Amino acid sequence: MKLAKYPLASSDNFTTFEFTSEGPKGLIHKLVRFQQTNTLKAFTILHLETKTK
């Protein structure tokens, strides 16, 4: 599968990533954050998106 790639910015420790996707509904700013849990090698993933004009 060949998918479009987006330029992205990440935090220094690579737990937060931001990018803007472009699709039929316009530009959508996305933020993905990984948070470590108390379980070994398990993370919580937080995904936020906001529509941009």
Cβ-based neighbours of 16, under 8 Å, separated by 6 or more: 10, 31, 32, 33, 34
Q: What would the pLDDT profile of 10-47 be if each residue is shown by its tens digit?
A: 989 888 999 888 888 888 888 888 888 888 878 888 78
The Cα 21–Cα 51 span in angstroms is 10
Cβ-based neighbours of 11, under 8 Å, separated by 6 or more: 17
> pLDDT value at position 53?
59
